[in-house]
Amino acid sequence: MQGKVILEEHFAVQATLNDPRTFTPEIWKRLGSQLLDIEKMRLPEMDANGIEWMILSLNAPAVQAIWDVKRAIAVAREANDHLAAEVAKHPDRFVGVAALAMQDPEEAAKELRRCVRELGFKGALVNGFSQVGEENTQVYYDLPQYRPFWKVVEELDVPFYLHPRNPLPSWQPNYQGHNWLLGASWAFAAETAVHALRLMASGLFDEHPRLKIIIGHLGEGIPANLWRLDNRNKWFDRRHAYPAKKWIADYMRENFWITTSGNFATAALKMCIEELGADRVMFSTDYPFEDVAQSVEWFDNVGISEADRLKIGRTNALELFGMG
What residues contact 229, with CB distance under 8 A and at least 6 apart? Answer: 197, 222, 248, 249
Helices (H), 90-146: 105-117
Which of 94, 95, 126 lies closest to 109 in space, CA to CA? 126
d(CA 168, CA 138): 8
Residue 286 annotated among the catalytic residues of the structure: yes
Which of 252, 291, 273, 275 lies closest to 48 in space, CA to CA? 291
Angle at 304 between CA 302 and CA 306, to 5 degrees: 105
Sheet arrangement for strand 256-259:
124-126, 160-162, 213-215, 256-259, 281-282
Q: Tell me the DSSP string of 30-83.
A: HHHHHHH-SSTTHHHHHHHTTEEEEEEEE-SSGGGG--SHHHHHHHHHHHHHHH
Of the residues 286, 291, 300, 308, only one is catalytic, namely: 286
d(CA 213, CA 221): 15
d(CA 61, CA 20): 9
DSSP H helix total and E strand total for the chain: 13, 8
Angle at 231 between CA 230 and CA 233, to 5 degrees: 65
Catalytic residues: 286
